Amino acid sequence: MIAATRTNQLTPPKDDELELSLFGPGFGECCVLHLGDGEWFVVDSCLNGETRRSIALDYLEFLGVDVATAVKMVVVTHWHDDHVRGIDQLAEHCVGAEFWCSEALRCEEFLALFELTFTRPDIHITRGVQCIGKVVDLVGDQLNFAMADMRIFQKTIAGRQVQIWSLSPSQLENLHAKKNLTELTKPSSIPQRRVPDKDPNHTAVALAVMVEDDQMLLGADLEELGNPKLGWSAVLSSPRRPADIKATLFKVPHHGSINGHHEETWKELLVKKPISFLTPYNKKKFLPDPDDVKRILARSSEAFITRTSFTKQSKAPLATRRLARMQSLVLSPGHIRARKASADSEWRVELFENASSLKTLNSR
């Protein structure tokens, strides 16, 4: 583990290096991946608190990446606010990328919910609906939809076979998600002029990123509900998922909370004691809680979290804050980065912007 410098942070990977960067400010999450030869992939989005732009855009532009051509794919795992802020900015700038979202949103029910943003201005609509609605406007019929057991990307990059598989949502989750969306648009379900956020995690898209033996499991916010046709149980019980998933890097689902935990996932889809990354959730309650931390540490060789401390946003005048941004290139979300060249035996993990070992939470 390296607590690295700003210079290190803004040094791009080599052509044969893999990278998984996880960003999280305390309410938000974004993964940025380099899979070789300058080809980049983005999963979800959160905002840079200083620039109010998608952190993926800021990071890639700081590295000198031409996002219009180098970003090959953007995946929106689900429509929770903490996973989609700024995703419409990615659609606007990453014009060469394929855009994917959950199959559970390909329905009249979600379009009806989006329509409420125009027909009912008196109702507060979650930003997740608004951001994905903007993506639909920008991408149009080029939007792709992911569900369980789909290979959504395959290519040889830097001499290595790369595959990306969506592992969820299952067919039953699609049905549950569409039922919930129908309930959201009923007049009786809109108390106090606010569309409630019932259960969108049925839409979550978990991903397996496979670069031969170097593999990553990105858990999104997929939950475990004890039903073999839902959540992680559905992933494990599916005969159509890739049989050779053994990830060495794990983006822990749902901020490490117990409802995202599934013991068989750790045994079947991960190597023994993988390196684990996660983002916190610091709105209304804090996740991961102490029991979550102990559970994740016990199952990981190393575990890291994007932030453990939180401060209020600066009240300095706007001009002063803009100057500070230009001088320091502030990336306010915490940043965990793992890189690995094809000849290397192990991942090299670097920590930036208040990211730390998960052990620091365990010691409190």
Tokens of 10: 């803004």
Q: Within 10 A of 239 (CB to CB), how many other CB atoms are there?
A: 6
- Alpha-carbon span 245 to 235, nearest angstrom: 12
| Own/partner pairs, 347-351, CB within 8 angstroms, 24+ separation | 347/248, 347/249, 347/275, 348/2, 349/1, 349/2, 349/275, 349/302, 349/304, 350/1, 350/2, 350/3, 350/4, 350/8, 350/9, 351/1, 351/2, 351/3, 351/4, 351/304
Distance CA 269, CA 242 (A): 10
85: Cβ contacts below 8 Å, ≥ 6 apart: 28, 45, 46, 47, 54, 127, 131
d(CA 159, CA 166): 23
The domains found in the chain, sorted by start residue, are: 2-362 (3.60.15.10)
Q: What is the rounded CA–CA span in Å between residue 355 and residue 102?
A: 29
Of the chain, the end-to-end C-alpha distance in Å amounts to 21
Structure tokens at 47: 């905002």
Question: Measured between alpha carbons, how far is 192 from 316 in angstroms, rounded to an integer?
Answer: 35
Predicted local confidence at residue 190, as pLDDT? 47
> Whole-angstrom Cα distance, residue 111 to residue 17?
40
Tens of pLDDT, residue by residue, the chain (364 residues): 565 566 689 899 999 999 999 999 988 999 999 999 999 999 999 999 888 899 999 999 999 999 999 999 999 998 777 888 999 999 999 999 999 988 877 655 565 555 555 555 555 556 666 667 777 777 878 889 999 999 999 999 999 999 999 999 998 887 777 676 666 556 554 444 444 455 547 789 999 999 999 999 999 999 998 999 999 999 999 999 999 999 999 999 999 999 999 999 999 999 999 999 999 998 878 999 999 999 999 999 999 999 987 654 445 555 554 444 433 444 679 999 999 998 888 999 999 988 999 999 866 5
What pTM does this model have? Answer: 0.87
**Amino acid at position 99, single letter:** F
**Exposed (0-12), middle (13-18) or buried (19+): which is 106, by Cβ within 10 Å?**
middle
Q: Identify whether the C-beta of residue 129 lies closer than 8 Å to the C-beta of residue 194.
A: no
| C-beta of residue 164 within 8 angstroms of C-beta of residue 208 | yes
246: exposed, middle or buried (Cβ count in 10 Å: 0-12, 13-18, 19+) = middle
pLDDT of residue 345: 86
